[in-house]
Chain A
Amino acid sequence: GQNIDQPTEMTATEGAIVQINCTYQTSGFNGLFWYQQHAGEAPTFLSYNVLDGLEEKGRFSSFLSRSKGYSYLLLKELQMKDSASYLCAVSFITDSWGKLQFGAGTQVVVTP
């Protein structure tokens, strides 16, 4: 299997920045996804990294270092609606197709 670790919970105030780290150990690495999930809903896509470096998308940025097995998701200018679980998911190739392995998720709580 694949080992994916991310913190359980993080708290930050509105307008602040929060960085969620994700470390992984995997074979057949084929990219890393970040998803946002509100309680009782399906995950929604935030970002995808397959090469090393930073990908920026508005208030959200994601970084990947393949050699270190490390990624982070950066959330800037936090808003109350950003309170959710953030899932790190590694895509890996097995047999003839890719699969996703999810981390346990980081619950971000945004306070006023």
Chain B
Amino acid sequence: GAVVSQHPSRVICKSGTSVKIECRSLDFQATTMFWYRQFPKKSLMLMATSNEGSKATYEQGVEKDKFLINHASLTLSTLTVTSAHPEDSSFYICSARDSSGRFLAGNEQFFGPGTRLTVL
């Protein structure tokens, strides 16, 4: 159990376009999901915390109007990179916490396989 999927796994787009990335918890409900970004040979940086039914909380320095997050259901969160530019090219990873608290009292995050975004 506790599987998280991400779609697409890889996307290439032109500068100025918007890209939507989906994160789904397949066999559990997730009140809280997280979005991370990882540049080559760097660690994961938390971008925002996505909460079902309420607004996302963004980390300092992350533009909320550029990275739109929607968490419309207990199994789906989406990240939309608006007006993408080459500097947005990165590996985007989502994670989800099981709302039931089955795993490590709800402290464990389950990671999706990641989405490689390349902006030309």
- B113 in contact with A42 (CB, 8 Å): yes
Check B118 for interface membership: any CB of A closer than 8 A: no
- B46 in contact with A99 (CB, 8 Å): yes
Interface pick from B13-21, B65-73, B79-87, B101-109 = B101-109
Check B28 for interface membership: any CB of A closer than 8 A: no
In B94-120, the 8 Å CB interface with A consists of: 95, 104, 107-109, 111-114, 116
The total number of A-B Cβ pairs within 8 Å is 48
The B contact surface, by secondary structure, is strand
Q: With the chains together, A31 CA to B106 CA distance in Å?
A: 12
Interface residues on B, range: 20 to 34
Q: With the chains together, A89 CA to B49 CA distance in Å?
A: 16
- A99 in contact with B34 (CB, 8 Å): yes
Interface residues on A, range: 20 to 34
Q: Could you say which of A40, A43, A91, A105 contacts B116, with CB atoms under 8 Å apart?
A: A40
Q: With the chains together, A40 CA to B111 CA distance in Å?
A: 13
- A48 in contact with B42 (CB, 8 Å): no
Q: Which residues of B contact A (CB under 8 A)?
A: 32, 34, 42-46, 49, 51, 57, 91, 93, 95, 104, 107-109, 111-114, 116
